[in-house]
Amino acid sequence: MLSDKEGFVRLPNEHIIFTSPPRTTLSLKPNSGKESFSISSSSGSLYLTNQRIVYLPSQQNPAFQSFTTPLLHIYDSHVSAPFFGPNVWTAIVRPVAGGGIPASIQVVELKFSFKEGGAFDFHSNFERIKDRLGQAVEHAREQGPATSQATPGRGVDFTHVHLDELPAYDGARNPSQVGDNNNQHQSSNSATQASTTESAGANTDFAPPPMEPPPGYEEVQQQSVAAELEDRLRRTSS
């Protein structure tokens, strides 16, 4: 895994995203505290790639030469900034089978102390690349066996996942977008109805006068003429 030229041998299609200053410390121990297993290094370099994190201690020895874990095996990561001392990045890691951690340990607590800074830059890059990797893995799985190869313990061959070529993630349709579309549709219908109402009102205001008199008009007019004639006869007789 180690290389004299770059410090470690890269996997196919692996790219380095972040490199820490050389005085970054590592602490690895069981999360429960019931096991005696522990690994620590007072100085070393931390590498974040598009597939994993790699830590190389400044002083290597037969007991500890390097530490690496896939990004999707890391959970609950966060940065703490104490009043005194360097910023610390902490996470829970699910060990890889055959990676040197006893099989009886299901999860371990991983800590990196950034003595020369870089904790927040590392964390932001880690969250970003892990999110994109998760989307890429999901996309590869949806494509079926024709475009993804099964890998024991992972389900997808990460060497065939190209993050730079990842299409825009759709996922489930956003309910807010559905609501906006419905609102736009309702607004369009309301505008159409309003336009129809206005047109109807305009047609009523400017409609031509009727060619025939209203119902009962002749009867009322005859009654009016008869009443006026009777009134004249009364005045003449008197």
146-158 per-position pLDDT tens digit: 444 444 335 555 5
CATH topology of domain 16-165: PH-domain like (2.30.29)
Would you list the domain boundaries of the chain?
Answer: 16-165
**pLDDT-flagged residues of the chain (< 50):** 146-153, 166-179, 181, 185, 187-192, 194-206
Reduced 3-state DSSP string for 52-87? EEEEEECCCECCECCEEEEHHHEEEEEEECCCCCCE
Gap between the Cα atoms of 183 and 58, Å rounded: 61
Q: Beta-carbon neighbour count of residue 157 at 10 Å?
A: 14
**Do residues 40 and 25 lie in contact, with contact meaning Cβ atoms separated by under 8 Å?**
yes
Q: Is the pTM of this model over 0.75?
A: no
